Chains A and B, each alone.
Chain A
């Protein structure tokens, strides 16, 4: 174990996978000479050269197409979007090509590509730079969607993503990059997809989260514990595949659930989890399932408005209390 930052753990995972498999290469805007906008790829072009750490023009369609095409003929590309907000113009390549080629070809083509980059609000980055849209990708059959919450997870899940034979949407929250944690140094350390982690056990309410919201929910759970309310906090880790079993086991115990996400609440991923709880654990519920999510507005710039648009510990606490009322 070594203590390192989230972005360092990710860089370590990249380095290990590039050393392990010569088919792995990185491409994206400003990842090489500039060392990466969030320094995730710092030093990698010096180490692996310009072909394996490929600086691209600001061309999201081109980047996504390059990665998808290279994956279709056997390479294992890792394409970075400077932020996932910029991936919208590449949606046709991701959704219409990468996600579907295996199915459209009757299984004759594999597309082992990883699309990765930061998500979520930064500091007053306003409307066009603060999105995640994970529910859009999770909505699309053929894409795996990963949202790691800890330094150890970002390493283990990234390595699994690179080794997966399917397109993987890999979302790193900007607020997590500087966070430190213990990370296994074993180069064979991986975390399987579809296995949620119980981050805190509790008997009263099941709180479901992923990515940055895991930390928010854990803090909320600490505060609620002082009131005598014990939350069981579940980190989904991957949205596709989705480990509902861990969620359902917990809900059958607690009889209550709060599902959280930072992204817009309307038609968000929390709604999917809540619906599945209703479908699969209805008879165990003692209160309506609560959702916590971002305000359904384009992200405002002003500091106070931005803060009001994002879910905080207090929102989780209020939702938990509603289920306990």
Chain B
């Protein structure tokens, strides 16, 4: 049995309509006889037979539209008898398919709602809207000043927040630093002030009495650029808070003096002792040895890798002492010495500067009493160490004596480390430094 299919008559044709059957069932057909006339979207054309035989069955009635490739009739070759079975029924005319116009006649009646009251939409910049959402602010209470159309911008949100804070008692955040009014920068420069909103900057500079800002610009080094980028990123994305703790260092200094008298060629520094104290404290409080990940998870590190801030002529570098939790004070001291030497020589490898989970920055040797350091992302905390300076203390017996006091400041990422945890950690560091023999184990 030979199938006759709806032919594709042109590149765009997908379906065709049988206009009329020229040949009918039982008619004899020769090659090239016109069997039927079909209508395409472009023209009416005959279908010529490609094979001879007898038109056995017509499957598609006149007027019906079928897709290209649909079998529309059967021819059986001359000299054979058409079987009676196995043929599909012809396609009926009428309402087959869902695209008949009837389908549109039964549109259900739609409820007519009362007209909606239209409000003037609040103009809010996308980031201002997002900030308000995240902080739970009511946008309708914020005055918009942007774009000449009263759009609420990021600056407006910041202004609102400032006003809110000024209008109330000092923020009741337990982590607020007790002694430092404004954290001072460590070795790295302060982040550019432009990162903060600058509503007042333009008018101030536009005033006629503005001082000149003449000077020379120089290209900055790769290292300086990296410092700038990382510190800005840190201060802009990490909610810092600061905890200051005084530590009495008399016993620690005495111990170091004794140790170093025995082995003057392997001098252990105050910094080594502090790193060791931090390593022990981090073992006790592993929730400080963590990162806040971009996926908004907290990653707790199994190893304690402590970075040591080293100032060089080029700028700040932070070589990392790996796995301090399992190292003795002498090991830490020897490794730190080697790394600091390499840092000053500019010979650190990238591996030696990565992988830190906590950092220590010490400016005590310069007489700095205390300071707050910028967290080194992705770490969660950094300890800033000031100088051990003599202070006159009142004794219990009513007399006075001088003690060596050192102030250490812990900068914490509030997303991971709360005030309570930070305080406990610092207490532990102090306990260890004031009882330094435990660090020799």
Contacts and interface: CB of A to CB of B under 8 A. Distances in A.
Contacts of B129: 283
B147 interface: yes
A288 B126 CA distance: 10
B198 interface: yes
Contacts of B91: none
A285 B128 CA distance: 8
6 contacts: A201-B228, A204-B198, A226-B213, A227-B205, A286-B154, A325-B148
A287 B192 contact: no
Contacts of B151: 287
Contacts of A283: 126-127, 129-130
A325 B146 contact: yes
Interface in B10-56: none
Given A227-B206, A229-B202, A285 B126 contact: yes
A288 B125 CA distance: 8
A172 B192 CA distance: 35
A228 B194 contact: yes
Given A226-B205, A228-B202, A283-B127, A202 B153 contact: no
Interface residues of A, number: 20
Contacts of B349: none
A286 B205 contact: no
Contact of B146 (A202, A227, A282, A287): A287
A203 B153 CA distance: 16
A230 B194 CA distance: 7
B201 interface: yes
B195 interface: yes
B126, B128, B129: most-surrounded residue (chain A CB, <10 A): B126
A255 B195 CA distance: 11
Instruction: Pick from A226, A255, A282, A288 the residue with the most CB of B within 10 Å.
Output: A255
Q: Is the interface of B mostly helix, strand, loop or mixed?
A: helix
Contacts of A48: none
Given A227-B202, A229-B202, A325-B148, A284 B194 contact: no
A286 B153 contact: yes
A308 B128 CA distance: 36
B365 to A, nearest CB: 32
Interface in B126-172: 126-130, 146-148, 151, 153-155
A201 B228 CA distance: 10
Contact of A228 (B153, B201, B228, B236): B201
A75 B204 CA distance: 62
A229 B155 CA distance: 14
Nearest to A255: B127
B139 to A, nearest CB: 14
Contacts of A228: 194, 198, 201-202, 204-205
Q: Is the interface of A mostly helix, strand, loop or mixed?
A: loop
A202 B153 CA distance: 19
Contacts of B198: 204, 228
Interface in B165-186: none
A136 to B, nearest CB: 28
Interface in A271-325: 282-288, 322, 325
Contact of A230 (B153, B192, B204, B228): B192
Contacts of B128: 286
Given A227-B202, A227-B205, A228-B201, A287 B125 contact: yes
Nearest to A324: B202
A284 B127 contact: yes
Contacts of B130: 283-284
Contacts of A227: 202, 205-206
A44 B204 CA distance: 57
Contacts of B232: 203
A203 B125 contact: no
A62 to B, nearest CB: 32
Contacts of A203: 192, 194-195, 232
Contacts of A255: 125, 127, 154
Nearest to B205: A228
Nearest to A228: B201
Contacts of A230: 192, 194
A280 B225 CA distance: 27
Nearest to A281: B126
B234 to A, nearest CB: 13
A227 to B, nearest CB: 5
A182 to B, nearest CB: 11
Given A284-B127, A287-B147, 10 more contacts: A204-B198, A227-B202, A227-B205, A228-B198, A229-B194, A253-B236, A255-B125, A283-B126, A286-B126, A287-B146
Contacts of A288: 147
Interface string B92-134: 0000000000000000000000000000000001111110000
A307 B328 CA distance: 73
Interface in B208-251: 213, 225, 228-229, 232, 236
A229 B198 CA distance: 9
Contacts of A285: 125-127
A286 B148 contact: no
Contacts of A204: 194, 198
Contacts of B228: 201
A284 B129 CA distance: 9
Nearest to B232: A203
B194 A286 contact: no
Interface in A228-279: 228-230, 253, 255
A151 to B, nearest CB: 16
Contacts of B236: 253
A20 B202 CA distance: 54
B216 to A, nearest CB: 14
A287 B147 CA distance: 7
A202 B146 CA distance: 21
Nearest to A230: B194
